[in-house]
Chains A and B, each alone.
Chain A
Amino acid sequence: QKEVEQDPGPLSVPEGAIVSLNCTYSNSAFQYFMWYRQYSRKGPELLMYTYSSGNKEDGRFTAQVDKSSKYISLFIRDSQPSDSATYLCAMSAGNQGGKLIFGQGTELSVKP
């Protein structure tokens, strides 16, 4: 079993839709949860960063962490064609020097 599982998609939605991206994990020591966005032929770009459980909102993006269920989500409201990219979840236990474990990535396409 992988430490971090992420549905690879691809996911295709119409412009303006609400998008839900999810990851599950098995290591209960994870405390830091991140979402990265990766455009084709580019490096991953940090979108959101959350410590422990709870919600965090930044514009059209909301990150949720449920440590009891070992489940994290990223919601994108009013999705735009420019949101078309691969979204990667990443997690760290912190006490191991910040070793980041990534999910497989979900490829999202937002159609105009």
Chain B
Amino acid sequence: EAGVAQSPRYKIIEKRQSVAFWCNPISGHATLYWYQQILGQGPKLLIQFQNNGVVDDSQLPKDRFSAERLKGVDSTLKIQPAKLEDSAVYLCASSSDRFVAFFGQGTRLTVV
């Protein structure tokens, strides 16, 4: 069974630029999560999808972050414009039962 795929693995951008991350969950997993992990901290949930719909986006900075999940499969997370404090690892995870999540390798974003 293939795991959660994310791309790119690394990204360096200047502040005020935009960036997008892509995630392909494990086949058949209805729940998809985007987490932000700042160095030395645990992952923080940004947004959770159940199929196409958003279940929780209470901690998503909506003035600059957006996410979509097309056809209930792949998802993209976008930041526009980026700030220095957005430097972090962005993790995508998926789940079949909404309780246990399986993670991708993450995208390491550096904003300079």
Binding site for B on A (CB under 8 A): 4, 6, 8, 32, 34, 36, 41-46, 49, 88, 90, 92, 94, 96-105
Contact = CB atoms under 8 A, between A and B. Distances in A.
B61 interface: no
A32 B45 CA distance: 17
Interface stretch (B62-70, B77-85, B101-109): B101-109
B88 interface: no
Contacts of A101: 45
7 contacts: A8-B40, A32-B100, A49-B100, A97-B55, A100-B101, A102-B43, A105-B41
Contacts of B101: 46, 90, 98, 100
A86 B50 CA distance: 29
Interface residues of B, number: 28
Given A88-B42, A104-B42, A98 B97 contact: yes
B100 A45 contact: no
B45 A100 contact: yes
Contacts of A103: 42
A90 B101 CA distance: 10
B16 interface: no
A96 B105 contact: no
A45 B91 CA distance: 12
Interface in B16-73: 31, 33, 35, 40-45, 48, 50, 55-56
A45 B102 CA distance: 7
Nearest to B45: A99
B9 to A, nearest CB: 9
Contacts of A43: 4, 91, 93, 103-106
A99 B56 contact: yes
